[in-house]
């Protein structure tokens, strides 16, 4: 945040808020990360063996370091009575409790909303589920499950080939909606003095994402086609394969952009052709227009096209891979990436760049105060703060209740 006139940094918006997080995987941790980045003290309660995402391979390897920065870690075995009692004591010190386990799981340990709010009516309790309460609520949900049943995989893939989106969209957005609900509940608590339960769910998040396609059907009476086969609202809006097999995304989404596009590339004949006069005309004539454009633009290199599009303020994009973004000049120049220390795996202790939230507050990005924690890194600190002496902590450790 920007410094004040006396050169002291402004406090972050949630400074002084305590959040206790009983979460795993992506959805719940994303909610906790939002609150942590905004200044809350977020305490991640992990099982003795650690959040499973610490040890995932392949596409899951980035989960823990991405979604658990700015948090403290305490390892507690909830299956042991001493561990469950300790977790209840810790939750009793919280303004907000987060969880994302199956329905009824938290009640087994006295960590459900009913039990905790009876002791602390000001508590805000945020549950992240597969489904909101209803016929599906006891189903096991994953991001891919709800993408398939919620129409997103159908819209992403080619006809007859449903395909999940290339990132954990429902998990991440579901966590963000949990955080939005938390912020609203905090404001309401400031007015009424009482907390409440907030619920966010993967399936309902997914349905929200495809709502535009549902309303497309309501408006037109025509089912929305999968994105690769869709009727585009713009004629020039596609990936082009050009010289040496390179690819680039090029678009011209207005009549003004179309005129500029034709002038830049010397397509006077296309600009004058009445069949392509308006955007809707060009959409209807895409079967004739696109082969012409592909053939003519195919003689350029991707770099040449990018330079011409950039110089004339026409929308375009290189086709990039995620690992290439570490060196993106805009992200590096604007502070969109921050250093973290990797907590686990073969590269534990090494430094990497991580993406920050895509907004500023008081002109500053919300940064990294704490790297993703090692398992149980703050156990002793947090238990001491709860009033437990060293011998009591050692007894809990010997009993296997804490790590």
- H or E element: which one contains 355? strand 351-355
Q: Where are the beta strands (DSSP E) in 76-223?
A: 96-99, 124-129, 196-201
List the helix and strand counts (H, then E) for the chain. 17, 13
Neighbours of 61 (CB within 10 A): 16
Please tell me whether residue 365 adopts helix, strand or coil conformation: strand
Name the active-site residue from 171, 244, 255, 281: 171
Residues 15 and 69: their CA atoms lie apart, in Å, by 16
Residues 6+ apart with CB under 8 A from 218: none
364 is written with which tokens?
């500053």
Quick one: which of 295, 304, 291 has its CA closest to 235? 291
φ/ψ of residue 390, rounded to 5 = -60, -40
Quick one: which of 364, 360, 326, 351 has its CA closest to 3? 364
Q: Is 171 a catalytic residue?
A: yes
371 is written with which tokens?
């790297």
**CA-based angle 29:58:60, to the nearest 5?**
10
Which residues belong to the active site? Answer: 171
């Amino acid at each position: 945040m920007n410094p004040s006139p006396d050169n002291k940094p402004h406090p972050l918006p949630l400074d002084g808020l305590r959040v206790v997080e009983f979460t795993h995987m992506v959805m719940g941790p994303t909610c906790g990360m939002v609150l942590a980045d905004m200044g809350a003290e977020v305490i991640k309660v992990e099982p003795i063996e650690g959040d499973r995402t610490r040890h995932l391979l392949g596409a899951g390897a980035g989960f823990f370091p991405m979604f658990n920065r700015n948090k403290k870690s305490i390892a507690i075995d909830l299956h042991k009575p001493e561990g469950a009692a300790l977790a209840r004591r810790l939750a009793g010190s919280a303004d907000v409790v987060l969880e994302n386990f199956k329905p009824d799981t938290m009640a087994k340990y006295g960590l459900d909303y009913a039990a905790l709010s009876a002791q602390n009516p000001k508590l805000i309790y945020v549950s992240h589920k597969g489904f909101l309460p209803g016929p599906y609520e006891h189903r096991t949900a994953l991001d891919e499950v709800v993408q398939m049943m919620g129409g997103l995989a159908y819209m992403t893939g080619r006809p007859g080939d449903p395909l999940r989106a290339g990132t954990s969209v429902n998990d991440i957005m579901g966590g963000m909606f949990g955080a939005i609900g938390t912020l609203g509940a905090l404001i309401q608590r400031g007015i009424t003095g009482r907390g409440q339960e907030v619920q966010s769910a993967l399936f309902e998040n997914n349905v929200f994402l495809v709502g535009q396609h549902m309303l497309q059907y309501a408006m037109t009476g025509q089912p929305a086609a999968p994105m690769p086969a869709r009727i585009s609202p713009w004629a020039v809006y596609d990936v082009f394969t050009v010289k040496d097999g390179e690819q680039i995304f090029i678009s011209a989404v207005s009549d003004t952009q179309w005129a500029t596009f034709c002038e830049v590339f010397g397509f006077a004949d296309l600009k004058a052709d009445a069949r392509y006069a308006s955007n809707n005309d060009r959409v209807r004539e895409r079967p004739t227009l696109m082969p012409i454009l592909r053939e003519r633009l195919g003689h350029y290199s991707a770099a040449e096209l990018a330079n011409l599009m950039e110089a004339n303020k026409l929308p375009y994009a290189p086709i990039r891979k995620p690992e290439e973004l570490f060196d993106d000049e805009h992200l590096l120049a604007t502070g969109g990436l921050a250093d973290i220390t990797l907590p686990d795996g073969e590269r534990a202790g090494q430094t990497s760049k991580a993406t920050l939230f895509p907004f500023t507050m008081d002109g500053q990005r919300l940064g990294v105060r704490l790297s993703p924690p090692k398992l149980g890194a703050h156990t002793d600190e947090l238990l001491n703060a709860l009033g437990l002496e060293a011998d009591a902590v050692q007894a809990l450790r010997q009993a296997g209740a804490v790590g």
